[in-house]
């Protein structure tokens, strides 16, 4: 073991990639090992989707979605580990993982004006917390194009479907049949990567990591080594 000393100075590490690659878990653990903050940008889109459902707003009514989500003043409680998302100052972290939210969130995340709103918020968080591991779909490409270290996590869709099923079991929910999960994942991949604004892409300067054949712990250890190496070669 190397011990996990906090790294020195400011650094933004971005982790992008499709659903089910273990991104959130990896990002949270990596942040812990490096002594950095962790930003889950998916939680922000999920909160917007939950608000849309809970307020009974029509998915086609993008102007109302935008107005109500702005009014909710989404932000994180950084005193919690991992930070919890708040809407109208109330914790939303449980609600955002519900299946009905997961089903519509990629449609919400395709609303261009809403993405602009989220990108602004995420950049502000980056200014407030410049020692950050941030994960999402557009973190290295759009939100933090100048981030010092960028990764793109990927895995075979069938592996990702299996992981989703496992996650649901761990959360105490009976998962749908694997074929249905795979179908949902492929649909979400396609929506996330073909939308006009902030599509899911692997930035040119990101390192692509296939998380399929290795455990989450091995992924975290590998990324930790890569970040430390990169920062050791920093020109000061």
Q: Does 52 bind ligand DC (CB under 6 A)?
A: no
**Considering the rule CB under 6 A, would residue 199 count as an interface residue with ligand DC?**
no
Can residue 21 be called a binding residue for ligand DC (CB under 6 A)?
no
Is residue 28 within the footprint of ligand DC (CB under 6 A)? no
Binder of ligand DC out of 82, 83, 126, 136 (CB under 6 A): 136
User: Quick one: 47 or 227, whose CB is closer to ligand DC?
Assistant: 47
Out of 39, 184, 188, 211, point to the residue binding ligand DC (CB under 6 A).
Answer: 188
Please give the helix or strand (H or E) that residue 225 lies within, else none: helix 216-232
Q: Which of 37, 138, 184, 224 binds ligand DC (CB under 6 A)?
A: 138
The span from the CA of 51 to the CA of 127, in Å, is 26
What is the Cα–Cα distance from 121 to 127, expressed in whole angstroms?
10
Task: Report, in Å, the least distance between residue 179 CB and ligand DC.
Answer: 20
Shorter beta-carbon distance to ligand DC: residue 7 or 138: 138
- The residue among 104, 92, 85, 89 whose CA lies nearest residue 41 is 85
Asked if 46 is part of the footprint of ligand DC (rule: CB under 6 A), the reply reads yes
Nearest to 143 by CA among 188, 224, 203: 203
Q: Which stretch binds ligand DC (CB under 6 A): 60-68, 81-89, 101-109, 176-184?
A: 101-109
Q: Per CB under 6 A, does 19 bind ligand DC?
A: yes
Number of chain positions touching ligand DC (CB under 6 A): 14
Cα-trace Rg, the chain: 17
Instruction: Give the C-alpha separation, 52 to 116, whole Å.
Output: 17
The neighbouring-strand residues paired with 151 are: 15, 207
Enumerate residues 102-131 that contact ligand DC by CB under 6 A: 105-106, 109
154 binds ligand DC (CB under 6 A): no
Contacts 24+ apart (CB under 8 A), 62-71: 62/111, 62/113, 62/114, 65/108, 65/111, 65/114, 66/111, 66/113, 66/114, 66/117, 69/114, 69/117, 70/117
Q: How far is the CB of 46 from ligand DC (least distance, A)?
A: 5
Rounded CA-CA distance 11/14 in Å is 10
Smallest gap from Cβ 78 to ligand DC, in A, equals 18
Asked whether position 192 contacts ligand DC by CB under 6 A, the answer is: yes
User: Which spans of this chain sit near ligand DC (rule: CB under 6 A)?
Assistant: 19, 41-42, 45-46, 105-106, 109, 136-139, 188, 192
């Amino acid at each position: 073991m190397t011990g996990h000393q906090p790294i020195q100075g400011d650094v933004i590490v971005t982790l992008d990639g499709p659903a089910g690659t273990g991104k959130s878990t990896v990002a949270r653990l990596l942040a812990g090992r490096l002594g950095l903050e962790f930003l889950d940008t998916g939680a922000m889109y999920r909160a917007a989707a939950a608000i849309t459902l809970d307020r009974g707003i029509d998915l086609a009514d993008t102007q109302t979605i935008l107005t109500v989500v702005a009014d909710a003043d989404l932000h994180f409680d950084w005193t919690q580990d991992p930070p919890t998302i708040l809407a109208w100052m109330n914790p939303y972290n449980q609600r955002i993982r519900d299946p009905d939210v997961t089903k519509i969130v990629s449609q919400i995340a395709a609303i261009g004006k809403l993405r602009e709103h989220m990108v602004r918020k995420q950049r502000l968080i980056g200014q407030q917390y410049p020692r950050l591991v941030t994960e999402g779909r557009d973190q290295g490409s759009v939100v933090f194009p100048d981030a010092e270290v960028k990764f793109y996590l990927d895995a075979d869709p069938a592996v990702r479907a299996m992981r989703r099923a496992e996650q649901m079991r761990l959360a105490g929910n009976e998962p749908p049949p694997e074929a249905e999960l795979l179908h949902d994942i492929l649909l979400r991949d396609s929506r996330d990567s073909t939308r006009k604004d902030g599509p899911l892409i692997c930035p040119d300067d990101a390192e692509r990591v296939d998380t399929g054949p290795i455990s989450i712990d091995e992924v975290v250890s590998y990324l930790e080594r890569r970040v430390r190496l990169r920062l050791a070669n920093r020109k000061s």
